[in-house]
Chains A and B, each alone.
Chain A
Amino acid sequence: MEYSETIVKLISSLSFAMIVTSFGAVTTRNLRYATYIYAVQALLMTTIIALYATAAPTLFIWSAVAFITKFLIITWLLLSFIKGLPEYEIKAIIGFAPSAVIATVLVVLLYELTHKYVHFLAPTSMATEEPFRTNVAVSLTIFALGLYGILTRRDAFKTAIGLCLLENGAHLSLVSLAPGLHETVIIGIVTDVVLGVYMLLYIIKGLREVAGTTDTYQLTELHW
């Protein structure tokens, strides 16, 4: 697949914007803003996949699927859920400043490592070339930031956002790692993702009603 220099540059810029939005969604304490930032990331991902589709038209369907599921449905689910929640998340285990330092180190290290040693990760030679190389590195970085969010946030709602980021990272990587995947398989994967997020939010809602909190530190009835 051949891309013009402009498309490659555009993909790279949008990919970096995705990393920034991941960081924003994890660290922003205002829940509504965090959801909006997630929505922006989903739109960025949709646009990136559409740009890849300029050389592989079947990816337009992927882009449409990502738009419907990741942007429309999941954003709607998240926004519906935060109705009635406090404006701000329960204070995280790690505050904004140390979080910024840790996330920056994580991003730089992971991005550099995956970008430099992409041949170790990439199953095909195509995935080692630009713009796929950057895509693999960005995907894994977003995946790691999602995991970081899940591990360091006390608010169950923010862990759900972390899970969405993690899934976005996995989804984005498919463009480079498996561009030949049939659309029905992609639809199967994203259906699982949407239903998984819905179930998680539904159970968190139940927890909020029954336990009166979304603070995972207070989920002490059972030991981790």
Chain B
Amino acid sequence: MVCTNANLILLLVLSPLPFSLAVLLLRRSYTLKEPLTIIGSFIPLALSIPILQRVLDEGYISAFNEEFLIDPLSAIFVIGISFVGFLASIFAFRYMRQEPLIRRVGIEIFERRLGIFYSLFLFFLSTMLWSVTTNNIVILWVAIEATTIASALLVSFYWDRRGLEAGYKYILLLTIGVTFSLFGCVLVYSASAPFIISGSPLLFTNIKGIISRIPANVILLSAVLFTVGFGTKAGLAPFHPWLPDAYAEAPTPISVILSGIMTETGLYALLRTLGLFLPSYGAVASSLLVLAVFSMILGALLAMVQGDLKRLLAYSSISQIGYIAMGLSVGTYLGYYGAFYQLVSHILAKPLLFMCVGAIIYSIALRNIDDLGGVGKHMPVTMACFFIGAFSLSGIPPLAGFLSKLTLIIASADAHLWWLLVLTLLSSLLTLFYAVRAAYTAFWGKEKNEAIAKAKEAPLSILFPVLTLSILTFLFGVYPQLLYPLLHAASVLAPFK
């Protein structure tokens, strides 16, 4: 088969689906589910490398009359989704086979459920890849809503009261929120259609060319609808109430995906849609900036009062997503560069931290900070990796999070937004406080629970993704030039004020 752009993109999006179906059909098998899932999530990762190469060489690649388009911005998300998806599938391999869960539901029911879990996992991966490769504004909505549908049962996987409550809030709030953005997509499409003579008025690339001809009232109304809709998906405050419960109650591999790539996919949709207007409408950027700062501060403050490590990380995500949105709304080259850098560092650090918490849960079935203490003595590798993640999140050198936050701070100064600079620093200090406090309390000090004495490092299949993410977090902090070609290309293409 000739490796055309169309083949590459189609394979990227569709390759997890046959494996999803196979896993569903073979759900009673004890041995095939995991290998099939790992292969199904590895193929998109393998394909993302030639795709990245072509995007860097050609500027962008497209297929099917530009219905699909991957530019440097999409490429960041394609790599992020396929990379974290692959690592999460390896992490899940042993993690999902924990004895307490098998004991609770029985081995046969467990095996069947696990089959459905992996099948949905791969389907979820495919919908996220679809979201970031489509160039069609309404199909973007369809794909984003599909990610919610694919993941609702994954959030409720444990099928206990807490998991079901989280799943109920998740699907209800996200569906309501995202419906608002459907109105926005339709308004923009409809307003553009009369001005687009050749080509489809549904394509972003065509809409962008005539955006100045769309009436201002339609643009402002659409911007509000996009912000509410895709902002809910991105977990921006105050549209975030679904997020802490979903992150905390989902099985850890799903928390990894939700925190590392799914909310970012929502942010991608927000950037793609609002990005149409940003060059000419300062009010849109200003409104996004307000939400971004609110998310940064509120997320950090709420993270400080959490006792459950997974909930703490969930609130921290709201704050970190706020940083990315902040950079985007500053709207300068540096702002975009910082935002994309922050995106990469968050895609690495948050899954890393969730996986470390998962390793603790796997080992001793505890996750409340107050129950922990002294775990580091028994799990030194997990402790070291957790600290790397926590320090990166807080912006401590020489980790990726340091450079991303530094770039954002310089971008604020460069734009003479001194109040923003102060608030960003304040939020970083709050992050440092809650992240280090959580790490210190959990891993050092006195052992507060008998179970901790029996703690030991998780198996290699759990530690491998943890170590990989830790190494990359360090590497991208020490060698930022590794990311430069892609981040620069994405920042140059991004819409400016």
Contacts and interface: CB of A to CB of B under 8 A. Distances in A.
Interface in A192-224: 192, 195-196, 199-200, 202-204, 206-207, 210-211, 216, 219, 221-222, 224
Contacts of B168: 156, 200, 203-204, 207, 216, 219
A207 B164 contact: yes
A123 B218 contact: yes
Contacts of A170: 179, 182-183
19 contacts: A123-B214, A150-B172, A159-B172, A163-B172, A163-B175, A163-B176, A166-B179, A167-B179, A178-B189, A181-B186, A188-B139, A195-B146, A196-B148, A196-B171, A199-B153, A200-B172, A203-B156, A216-B168, A222-B162
Chain B contact-residue range equals 35 or more
Interface in A16-44: none
Nearest to B222: A123
Nearest to A151: B176
Interface in B159-204: 159-162, 164-169, 171-172, 175-176, 179, 182-183, 186-191, 193-194, 201-202
A191 B149 CA distance: 11
A192 B145 contact: yes
Nearest to B219: A123
Contacts of A134: none
Nearest to A163: B175
B241 interface: yes
A180 B142 CA distance: 17
A177 B138 CA distance: 13
A40 B169 CA distance: 28
Contacts of B69: none
Given A185-B138, A196-B145, A206-B156, A124 B191 contact: yes
Interface in A148-181: 150, 156, 159, 163, 166-167, 170, 173-174, 177-178, 180-181
Contact of B193 (A180, A189, A210, A219): A180
A55 interface: no
A188 B142 contact: yes
B159 A210 contact: yes
A224 B172 CA distance: 13
B406 to A, nearest CB: 35
Contact of A120 (B164, B172, B217): B217
Nearest to B189: A178
Contacts of A121: 187, 221
A147 interface: yes
B46 to A, nearest CB: 28
Interface in B220-251: 221, 241, 245, 248-249
A211 B164 contact: yes
A203 B168 CA distance: 6
Contacts of A120: 217, 221
B215 to A, nearest CB: 8
Nearest to B244: A222
Contacts of B187: 121, 123, 177
Nearest to B136: A185
A124 B141 CA distance: 21
Interface in B244-281: 245, 248-249
Contact of A206 (B164, B248, B249): B164
Given A119-B217, A166-B179, 18 more contacts: A123-B187, A123-B218, A127-B190, A170-B182, A170-B183, A189-B138, A196-B145, A196-B148, A196-B149, A199-B149, A200-B168, A203-B164, A206-B156, A206-B164, A210-B161, A211-B161, A222-B166, A222-B169
A10 to B, nearest CB: 24
Contacts of B328: none
A189 B182 contact: yes
Contacts of B165: 207, 219, 221-222
B152 interface: yes
A119 B216 CA distance: 12
Given A121-B221, A199-B171, A203-B167, A173 B186 contact: yes
Contact-residue bracket for chain A: 35 or more
Contacts of B139: 185, 188
A152 to B, nearest CB: 14
A199 B186 contact: no
A182 to B, nearest CB: 8
Nearest to B155: A203
B162 A221 contact: yes
A222 B250 CA distance: 13
B258 to A, nearest CB: 15
A116 to B, nearest CB: 14
A132 to B, nearest CB: 11
A75 to B, nearest CB: 19
Contact of A224 (B169, B171, B215): B169
A159 B175 CA distance: 12
Contacts of A163: 172, 175-176
A121 B186 CA distance: 11
B245 A166 contact: no
Nearest to A195: B149
Given A123-B218, A147-B176, A196-B171, A185 B142 contact: yes
A195 B217 CA distance: 33
A123, A159, A200, A206: residue with the most chain B Cβ atoms closer than 10 Å: A123
Contact of B183 (A124, A173, A191): A173
B175 A196 contact: yes
Contacts of A188: 138-139, 142
B90 to A, nearest CB: 27
B190 A221 contact: no
Contacts of B248: 222
Contacts of A189: 138, 141-142, 182
Interface string A112-139: 0000000111011001000000000000
B202 A203 contact: no
A119 B152 CA distance: 38
A196 B165 CA distance: 16
A167 B167 CA distance: 20
B186 A177 contact: yes
A48 to B, nearest CB: 17
A170 B186 CA distance: 10
A202 to B, nearest CB: 7
A188 B190 CA distance: 18
B28 to A, nearest CB: 21
A2 B245 CA distance: 51
Nearest to B192: A123
B191 A123 contact: yes
